[in-house]
Amino acid sequence: MELRIILSLYTESTLADDEKCKRRRLAERGSFVVELCDCEAVHLTVGFLTLRLDPRAYRELAGALEEALRAISVPEQQTIH
């Protein structure tokens, strides 16, 4: 099974497509916005960049981000010299 990730660069045609898509905002923090559209795509917006992901790809991305956050949140172990 392939994970679908579509990078949306805004042009007149994609803006027209977005007008047809009804989105429901799920979360917003700073310049990050997550929306679910009526076609079941998850729209992840970071500033001027929007990724459209199928829900499974979004869950995988969220899992990877959580894993990375845990890795950088762990205090470094002190070594004895």
pLDDT of residue 73: 82
Residue 21: pLDDT band with limits 50, 70, 90: confident
Give the pair of three-digit tokens for residue 75.
């205090």
**Per-domain residue ranges for the chain?**
5-73
pLDDT of residue 29: 96
Across 14-21, average pLDDT: 59
Nearest to 35 by CA among 55, 13, 5: 55
pLDDT of residue 18: 57
pLDDT digits (tens, 9 = 90+) for 25-80: 999 999 999 999 998 999 999 999 999 999 999 999 999 999 999 999 876 665 56
Q: Residue 61, exposed/middle/buried by CB under 10 A (0-12, 13-18, 19+)?
A: middle
